[in-house]
Amino acid sequence: MRPGITSTKLGRYQAAEPLRLERLAVHDGSPLREVDHEIPIPVLDQEDLLAQGIDTAALVPGAQQVDALGSCTCNAGTGHLAERWVAAGKNLLSIQLPSGDGTLGITASGPAPQEDEEFAIVLYHLVTDETGDPSTEWPPVDCGSSGLYVFQEFERQKWASSYLSGAGVCGALSLLQSGTVMVGLPWFNSWFTQDAQGFVDSDGSFGAFMAAVQSGVAGGHETLMRAIPQLAQASSGIVELQGTVIRVRNSWSPSWGPLAGEYLIHASTLNYLSQYVDYKQIVVA
């Protein structure tokens, strides 16, 4: 199995991106604020698909019926697209994809995780085609994907006019001021279990980070930053990273962890990972 790809749960955390400096989001040192963005769809679950009544073989021609997919990028992407469209005053009902089982959209009201998960699965099929390499597409290979390919598909579908890439964790915090941000990163084995508060990285210290590294990398993973519940920023504009906390939505069902499918992580941990983390936000015209 290639690095950063697994058959379930995980995908890729990065793919090579063309040099597009006009898409770079850099924090200019201006005051930040604590934010909490509402995502208008439920927490999704890329596993236990059969129990959810989801038949991947019916949704995507050529696919086998499976109980889990490495579609974390598209689960995060579906939540991100829904939040950004609602924030822009657009109608979610206008977002639709054809599938083998009919036309799918993102739910406009009420908790309907099955339909939203089905949308994410069909999106995953399209996004895997962005590599241009049939040997790394789903189906038949559960190949994982990356944030870059998701955002390229958003542009191709004309759901986004562009996108921005955060320059480091402070760039991501700057993007979070206006809306959710997709984050792709290495996922450590120790992070599968959160503490009682919902943190995957303990206290965000260097020691905690090295302990995670020593637990081993399970694969690449994509989730959705949605809130800054705790911000530490000096009057000079410098962000105190260990004192800054980010709340992130996962796609392993609302029963994962004490925060109903979400988790907390310190900005310091993301800074330690630095070049291995990818942050993106769509621009909706």
Residue 221 has pLDDT above 60, yes or no: yes
- Whether 154 and 225 map to the same domain: the answer is no
Residue 137 has pLDDT above 90, yes or no: no
The Cα–Cα gap between 283 and 285 comes to 6
Residue 246 has pLDDT above 50, yes or no: yes
- In this prediction, residue 109 has a pLDDT band, given cuts at 50, 70 and 90, of low
Residue 256 has pLDDT above 70, yes or no: yes
- In this prediction, residue 239 has a pLDDT band, given cuts at 50, 70 and 90, of very high
Pick the residue with more confidence: 141 or 284? 284
Answer whether residue 175 is part of any domain: yes
Answer whether residue 10 is part of any domain: no
- Whether 50 and 80 map to the same domain: the answer is yes
**pLDDT score, position 4:** 42
160, 192, 222: which is the final residue of a domain? 160
Average pLDDT, the chain: 90
Answer whether residue 262 is part of any domain: yes
The Cα–Cα gap between 252 and 45 comes to 5
The Cα–Cα gap between 123 and 240 comes to 37
What pLDDT digit, counting tens, does each position of 5-63 carry?
455 677 765 667 777 778 889 998 889 999 999 999 999 999 999 999 999 999 999 99
Helix (H, G, I), strand (E, B) or coil at 187: strand
Average the pLDDT over 175-202 and give the result. Answer: 96
Residue 85's domain spans which residues?
39-160
- Whether 238 and 125 map to the same domain: the answer is no
- Whether 153 and 216 map to the same domain: the answer is no
Answer whether residue 24 is part of any domain: no
Residue 112 has pLDDT above 70, yes or no: no
- Whether 106 and 186 map to the same domain: the answer is no
Torsion of Cα atoms, 274 then 198 then 228 then 11, to 10°: 50
Answer whether residue 7 is part of any domain: no
List alpha helices for the chain, DSSP H.
56-59, 72-87, 113-128, 147-156, 168-176, 206-215, 267-273
Answer whether residue 29 is part of any domain: no
111, 131, 160: which is the final residue of a domain? 160
- Whether 49 and 132 map to the same domain: the answer is yes
- Whether 234 and 154 map to the same domain: the answer is no
Number of domains the chain is built from: 2
Answer whether residue 75 is part of any domain: yes
Answer whether residue 82 is part of any domain: yes
How many alpha carbons lie under 13 Å from residue 249 in its C-beta half-sphere?
A: 28
- Whether 247 and 145 map to the same domain: the answer is no
128, 160, 192: which is the final residue of a domain? 160
- CB neighbours of 88 closer than 8 A, spacing ≥ 6? 284
- Whether 84 and 154 map to the same domain: the answer is yes
- Whether 225 and 264 map to the same domain: the answer is yes
- Whether 188 and 133 map to the same domain: the answer is no
- Whether 127 and 206 map to the same domain: the answer is no
